[in-house]
Amino acid sequence: MFGDADSLLYVGGGFSSVSHNARRRHAQPQKCYIERFMSAPNSIFVRACKMEPVERTPVWFMRQAGRYMSEYRAVRKQHSLLEICRKPQLAAEVTITAAEILAVDAAIIFADLLLPLEVMGLPFHFAAGEGPVIERPVRSEEDVAFLRTDRTADLGYVSQAVSLVATHFAGRVPVIGFCGAPFTLASYIIEGGGSRHYVHTKKMMYNSPTVWDELMRKLVAVTAAYAADQVRAGADAIQIFDSWVGCLSVEDYRRYVLPHVNGMVKLLQKTGAPVIYFGTDSATLLPAMNETGADVIGLDWRIPLDLGWQTLEHRCAVQGNLDPVLLFADWKELKSRAKDILARAGQRPGHIFNLGHGILPETPVENVKNLAHFVQEHSAVAGSKGSPEPGHRSPRS
């Protein structure tokens, strides 16, 4: 179990959980998380994550709560992004609102990827037009040694928001928790923000591999404890976002990243919740990503879904993978592309429909709503071996 006082240690190539009561509990049989904490373990989303047969394809969207929605923009007029993240009632409100408006099959908690950096001693802010700025980039062994791993409990506001969302939906809609992958978080804190070439990040990997490994261990310790707390609060799955991993060669991924993601996935799977691992521009990395043992691998739009799944040897479930820009297309084109993805999945158990990345700010809301409904309707008809083409549904209010 991962309590607020727990910490995570990297020992001999693996991770173990310890707390003040660990020695006392060690000889006692541990209860399974799935019965105690997950809010909707029998939902079609969770079952699809486990590659179990479902009556239709579940659908949700990355960044489904965002600026493209007027309801979210209204909240943002009163509060900054970080204020919403830090106030459980607000984070729960925008999470619930988006899931209900879109009528999707899962709600992903509203939070920011970089929140764990604050408790590690790395303040950051958002600069207009530039994105996140890390105020003290990590570039040396001394910088890495400075990072703390003992303040994960300070992120409890995210778990509180998860609990509020889970209570609201009362098992009707599963809740997805999430965290950043160690490479993506490392690239942010080393570069000081976003980057095109990741020069400082790769310099540390190549020139100071011991320092790099220590940084990755600390990031995994904090983010794994943070994500496990979300499961304890009611999250039904955890998505690990590796947004920038596509900048790596296969060799570099295997050498500098894979061992750490392996440990993180195994640790989170002890919670009983399925683990989704997603990276962008990662088609060349899929065989290596498959070795993480994640329950679900997220595919971006750069590889056909059937080819991506075949590359993964159908070991796991897959999520994806519509190009987010297709949500700007007319309905005929959008529907055709969605049908193609469903056809490529071939009704094989383990497909979760999603985009290949997050919804863009100017996306028409009606297109997102109608896409969610179409996937639900079309996959249900196809699954029942009825007419493969449901009637076109007029936009919902």
Q: Evaluate whether 182 touches 220 at the Cβ level (below 8 Å).
A: yes
Position with higher pLDDT, 232 vs 6: 232
Is residue 383's pLDDT more than 80? no
User: Tens digit of pLDDT for each residue in 326-336?
Assistant: 999 999 999 99
The single residue listed with the structure tokens 């009825």 is 386
DSSP strands (E only) in 19-63: none
Is residue 149's pLDDT more than 60? yes
| CA-to-CA separations, 94 to 52, 66, 154, 252, 343, in angstroms, rounded | 30, 8, 22, 38, 33
The torsion angles phi and psi of 361, rounded to 5 degrees, stand at -60, -35
* Strands 107-108 vs 14-18: parallel, antiparallel or unpaired: unpaired
Is residue 107's pLDDT more than 80? yes
Is residue 134's pLDDT more than 90? yes
When the pLDDT of each residue in the chain is averaged and rounded to a whole number, the result is 89
pLDDT for the residue 242: 98
- Distance CA(18)–CA(11), nearest Å, equals 12
Positions annotated as catalytic residues are 63, 67, 76, 112, 188
- Distance CA(366)–CA(394), nearest Å, equals 10
Q: How confident is the model at residue 37 (pLDDT cuts 50, 70, 90)?
A: confident
User: Dihedral, CA atoms, 147, 113, 237, 175, nearest 10 degrees?
Assistant: 130
pLDDT for the residue 385: 55
Ranking 15-24, 74-83, 217-226 by mean pLDDT, the lowest is 15-24
User: Tens digit of pLDDT for each residue in 279-319?
Assistant: 999 999 999 999 999 999 999 999 999 999 999 999 999 99
pLDDT for the residue 93: 98
Is residue 386's pLDDT more than 90? no
User: Tens digit of pLDDT for each residue in 365-380?
Assistant: 999 999 999 999 999 9
Token pair in block for residue 11: 């020992």
Position with higher pLDDT, 382 vs 145: 145
DSSP symbol at 138: -
pLDDT for the residue 130: 74
pLDDT for the residue 1: 28
Domain positions in the chain: 7-383
Q: What mean pLDDT comes out for the span 11-34? A: 34
Cβ count near 193 (within 10 Å): 17
Q: Over pLDDT 90: what percentage of the chain?
A: 84
The highest-confidence range among 117-131, 245-259, 383-397, by mean pLDDT, is 245-259
Is residue 320's pLDDT more than 60? yes
- Distance CA(243)–CA(197), nearest Å, equals 14
Token pair in block for residue 244: 């920038």
Radius of gyration of the chain (CA): 20
Is residue 180's pLDDT more than 90? yes
Q: Going by CATH, does the domain composed of 7-383 fall within 1.10.240.10?
A: no
Q: How confident is the model at residue 129 (pLDDT cuts 50, 70, 90)?
A: confident
